[in-house]
Amino acid sequence: MQGKTYKFIADDVAEVDDDAVGHTMRGHRQPVTCVGISGDEKFAYSGGKDSLVCQYDVETGKTVHKWKGDKAGKTGHKGHVLSLAVTEDGKFVASGGEDNLINIWDVRTKAPIDSLRGHRDSVVSLAFQMGTHKLYSASKDRTIKLWNVDEMGYMETLYGHALPISALDVLRRERAVSVGEDRTLRVWKIAEESQLILRGHGGSIDCLCMLDEQQFFSGSQDGSLCLWSIMKKKPACTLPSAHGDANPWVSSVAACRFTDLLASGSSDGQVRFWKAKNNKLLPRGSVSVPGVVNALAFGTSGKVLVAGVGQEHRLGRWEHHTEGKNGVRIVSLPQKDRSSK
C-alpha cells in the first residue's frame, strides 16, 4: 500500500458510549450537509443549507471563522453548500454547492481565492487527492471533474454515470471511486482512461468512502451498507437494514484511512461503528446523535470523528426531525493502551 502502515484499531471503539459525544458546535442556522477535518486534527469544517462554510477549533469547540454566502451570490455560495474538502496540509478548503460552483478558501488568511466553474448542476461531492492539491468534484450533472487548485485550472472530465452522482472519494493513487442514483459504484482508473462498474445495492447509493486502495464502503437509500473489494464485481459483504428494522436509509459513511475502522450515519440519530475483517462488516458499538447524520469524517489518528447533523436530509426535505440540532458534533473515540502488549 505504497508505504502506508495498515493499523487495526476498530476493536478500540467497542466500548464507545454516548459520553464520547461532545457538545454541538452551532455555527449553522440550518442543517449541516458536509464536514471535513484538517490533517493535524486541530480544525473541523462544515457546510450547510444556510450558505455558510464554518471553521471550528476541535479542542475548544469554538467557531473560528465563517465564510458567508448570500442570495445574490456576490460573496461565497448562493444557496445550499453541499460538499466540502480539506487539503491534507490544511492550506485550502474547497466547497461546492447548488449554485454549480466550487469555491476555494485560503485557511491562513481566511480569504476567498477563486471559484472553479464548469459543472452544469449542483456540486455534491469533493475530494482532494492525498498529499496533493489536485481536486476531484462530482455533480448532479453526472460528471466528475479534475482540477489543479495551485493553478486554479481545469484538467479533465470523466463521463459514465447514467444518473446524478451522489458521492466520490480518492486516496493517494490516481484512482477515484464514485456512486450515484444509477445504483452503480464506479472505479475510475485515470491514467488508463478506464472504469470498472460494480453493482450490489437495491436503491440509490447516497454515500461512499475508500478504506484503502482496494476496499470501499457505501450506504444506500435501501438501508443497506456494502463493503466492496476491487477484486469482485459484487459487494464482498452486504448488511441489509444496517441501522435497524425501521430500515432508514444510510445518509453518511466514513473510513479511518488505512485501518479497519468504519462508521455510518442515518436518520435514526445513531452513528454506528464497524470493523472490516476478512470481507465482513462486524458491529463495534454506536453513539447517539439526534437528527439526520448527513456527514462524517475521521481524523487521521482515529481518535476523533466529526459528525454533521441536521433536522433534514442534505439533499432534500423528505423528513423533518425536530429532536435534532443543526450543527457539528465531535466524537472522541476511546484508545486502548497497547503498551503492555
Q: Is the pLDDT of residue 337 over 60?
A: no
Q: What is the pLDDT of residue 263?
A: 97
Residue located via cell numbers 491562513: 108
CA distance 340 to 218: 36
pLDDT at 318 over 60: yes
Distance in angstroms between the alpha carbons of the first and the last residue of the chain: 25
Residue 4 has pLDDT above 70, yes or no: no
pLDDT at 262 over 80: yes
What is the reported pLDDT for 277?
Answer: 94
pLDDT of residue 179: 98
Q: Where is pLDDT greater, at 293 or 247?
A: 293
What CATH code is assigned to 10-332? 2.130.10.10
Give the cell for residue 186.
464506479
Q: What is the mean pLDDT of the chain?
A: 92
pLDDT score at 340: 37
The dihedrals phi and psi of 172, each to the nearest 5 degrees, come to: -90, -30
Q: What is the pLDDT of residue 58?
A: 94
Report the distance separating Cα 6 and Cα 77, nearest Å.
38
The overall longest dimension of the chain from CA atoms, in Å, is 60
111-120 pLDDT tens trace: 999 999 999 9
pLDDT digits (tens, 9 = 90+) for 65-86: 999 987 666 778 999 999 999 9
pLDDT band of 338, cuts 50, 70, 90? very low
- Contact between residue 322 and residue 5 where contact means Cβ atoms under 8 Å apart: no
Where are the chain's structural domains? 10-332
Residue 143 pLDDT more than 80?
A: yes
Grid cell, residue 33, equals: 450537509
Q: What is the pLDDT averaged over residues 16-26?
A: 84
